[in-house]
Structure 1
Amino acid sequence: MLRNLVVLGGIAVAFAAVPVVFQSNPDAFHALFSPAPRDEAPASTVAAVHPVTAQPLGRKVSVPADARGHYAASFRLNGRQIDALIDTGATLVAITSSTARRVGLSLNPADFRQSVSTANGVTKAALVTLDRLEIGRISLDDVQAVVLDDHALQTNLIGMSFLNRLEKFQAKDGELLLAQ
């Protein structure tokens, strides 16, 4: 009986340690449980956004500049993937109304009462708080943002309301380093 309790206790401790191990080294954890690479080449796809390369230590992400020198990447907004342009000239994160609907934000026409200046002129926007905005292993909760009509904003923008909450963001040698 005592032997069974000791074995059961060991199993319980092992299961309790899984979150700690995952948080301290998620890359090793993912490598352990990801399928083995296959020899065949994947089907080629055309993507508008460069892939994001996560750094091996800490919560860092490196975003390469595109041919125009812009930093575009895939983010997760409230758990859904979105493509966005990182814009240090934008005060807030700005998303299109169609993106807002896709990530579960329900807005009425009366919510669009804030006047904002954009590259395309002055327009109306709805001020919102995003539950969670993530890129790689960087994750921020309660990020201030504005929602603009799809005609007023061509692409989602990751502005200073996200970037200022990071430990560091730095452009160097054609890459933008984000660190939390």
Structure 2
Amino acid sequence: MQAPEPTNPYGKTFAIIAWLIVMLMLYLFFQDTIDKQLNPNQQLNSVQGSRGETRTVLIRNKSGHYVGTALINDTPVDFMLDTGATTVAIAQRTAEKLGLPFGAQIQVNTANGLSSAWRSRIDRLQLGDIVLTNIPASIVPNLGGTEILLGMSALKQLEFHQQGNQLTLIQHR
């Protein structure tokens, strides 16, 4: 069944505005659901273990990656866990926004081939209640997006276990 066609120009304008409002509301409603599917770890929670260790659990996203939101020097940044990355890799735009230092220029081997990058250092990286300090990083100018690749320069300081769709990060004190 089709809705009757409005007969005056104000009715047509109102109908168009009403449909645009409905579409905007649907977009806003479903955008939150899509964001949670892409980054199910927007709020990282931690627990203290029986031996004083700190545990933070990550849930795998719908693409099979461990993506979350960390704090770098108290600024929220989305990350993707990458055990194949030697250091924490940060896009140049993100590094500038975070005020990270640009050190010596180096060559890095990325999935897209050989690229230039700069050495850098993260003063403080927080994953839930897990806090890492003085983390070596690379600022990669052609790294797409704004999320960082959480590489082994950070992960080597943690123990981690995967079971099913969960990855538990463990920091021993």
- TM-score normalised over the length of structure 2: 0.70
Q: Does 1:105 align with 2:95?
A: no
Matched, 1:129 2:121: yes
Pick the aligned partner of 1:50 from 15, 40, 63. Answer: 40
Q: Does 2:143 align with 1:152?
A: yes
- Contact 1:123/1:152 (8 A) holds in 2: no
* Unmatched tracts of structure 2, length 5 or more: 1-27
Fraction of identical pairs, as percent: 31
Q: Report matched runs for 1:4-15 at 5 Å.
A: none
Could you say which residue in structure 2 is the equivalent of 1:15? none
Listed as ranges, the matches of 1:160-179 within 5 Å are 160-166=152-158, 168-179=159-170
Query: Matched residue pairs, number?
Result: 133
Mapped contact 1:90–1:158 kept (Cα < 8 A): yes
User: Max radius of gyration: which structure?
Assistant: 2
What pairs with 1:35-74 in structure 2 (closer than 5 Å)? 44=29, 45=32, 46-47=34-35, 48-51=38-41, 52-58=43-49, 59-74=54-69
Residue identity matched to 2:39: V
* Structure 2 partner of 1:39: none
The TM-score, its normalising length taken from structure 1, stands at: 0.68
Give 4+ residue runs of structure 1 displaced > 3 Å after superposition: 152-155
Contact residue 58 and residue 68 of structure 2 kept, 8 A:
yes
C-alpha distance in structure 1 between counterparts of 2:72 and 2:137, whole Å: 11
CA–CA separation in structure 2 for the residues paired with 1:122 and 1:170: 31
**Separation in 1 of the partners of 2:86 and 2:156?**
10
Structure 1 residue runs without a partner (length 5+) = 1-42
Query: Residues 55 and 61 of structure 1 are in contact (CA less than 8 Å); yes or no, is this contact kept in structure 2?
Result: yes
User: How has the CA–CA distance of structure 1 residues 75 and 101 changed in structure 2, closer, same or farther, with 3 Å as cutoff?
Assistant: same
SS of equivalent to 2:48: coil
